[in-house]
């Protein structure tokens, strides 16, 4: 009986060593959540210049549902970058962006990046949404193996781009 217990204990110990390694490689052994939200990381690329006047390049406020952040469009020049670092999954998912019902009148040109099926390279694709007549959650991309989604404040001057301050990208997997 003790030899059976020793064999079982060794099997459990071996599994404890192998499973974390599988999780690092994106193995199907990792459970994929059905729905997850991501917080934006906002980086000021430039400020206090003629292309990006003033010290503040983005601002905080509220729409009717949640805290938001927003910026002015700056023509062909990027003053900020908003990025979502997405946890890897091989599952097929919809990526939904929260459009505030205030301070959101422009067109956002998203850059979606991911890892190829073979895992040896990356891919990228543009997706866009016109915030002018929208409020709430909108699907901006559907697919697998996404690693990041980002946008910049480029666009025709005179518009505002808005996003949820804490959780403005949602992943819904099937």
For 34-78, the pLDDT digits (tens) are 789 999 999 999 999 999 999 999 999 999 889 999 999 999 999
- For the record, the structure tokens of 173 come out as 């997997």
The answer on 56 and 10 residing in a single domain is no
The answer on 65 and 146 residing in a single domain is yes
- List, in order, residues 6 or more apart from 54 with CB less than 8 Å away: 47, 48
User: Which H or E run contains 19?
Assistant: helix 2-24
pLDDT beneath 70, residues of the chain: 1-33
pLDDT score for 26? 36
The answer on 85 and 8 residing in a single domain is no
Give the alpha-carbon dihedral of 129, 130, 133, 139, to 10 degrees: 0
pLDDT score for 21? 35
The answer on 147 and 88 residing in a single domain is yes
- List, in order, residues 6 or more apart from 38 with CB less than 8 Å away: 84, 85, 86, 87, 167, 168, 169, 170, 171
CATH of the domain at 138: 2.60.120
pLDDT score for 142? 96
- d(CA 7, CA 14) in angstroms, rounded, equals 11
pLDDT score for 95? 97
Domain coverage including residue 24: 1-30
The answer on 59 and 14 residing in a single domain is no
Give the alpha-carbon dihedral of 137, 133, 110, 97, to 10 degrees: -10
The answer on 122 and 54 residing in a single domain is yes
How many structural domains compose the chain?
A: 2
The answer on 103 and 56 residing in a single domain is yes
pLDDT score for 119? 74
Closest CA to 74 of 11, 150, 161, 165: 161
- Find the length of the chain: 174
- d(CA 1, CA 154) in angstroms, rounded, equals 70
Phi then psi for residue 152, to 5 deg, are -120, 170
pLDDT score for 33? 57
pTM: 0.78
In eight-state DSSP terms, residue 10 is H
The answer on 76 and 161 residing in a single domain is yes
């Amino acid at each position: 009986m003790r030899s059976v217990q020793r064999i079982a204990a060794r099997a459990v110990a071996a599994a404890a060593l192998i499973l974390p390694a599988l999780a690092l490689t994106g193995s199907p052994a990792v459970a994929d959540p059905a729905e997850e939200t991501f917080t934006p990381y906002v980086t000021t690329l430039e400020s206090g210049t003629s292309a990006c006047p003033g010290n503040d390049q983005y601002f905080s406020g509220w729409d009717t549902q949640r805290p938001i952040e927003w910026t002015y469009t700056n023509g062909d020049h990027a003053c900020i970058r908003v990025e979502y670092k997405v946890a890897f999954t091989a599952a097929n998912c919809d990526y939904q962006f929260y459009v505030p019902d205030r301070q959101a009148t422009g067109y956002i040109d998203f850059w979606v990046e991911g890892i190829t099926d073979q895992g040896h390279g990356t891919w990228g694709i543009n997706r866009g949404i016109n915030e002018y007549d929208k409020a709430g959650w909108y699907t901006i991309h559907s697919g697998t193996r996404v690693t990041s989604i980002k946008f910049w404040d480029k666009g025709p001057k005179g518009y505002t781009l808005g996003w949820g301050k804490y959780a403005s990208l949602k992943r819904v997997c099937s």
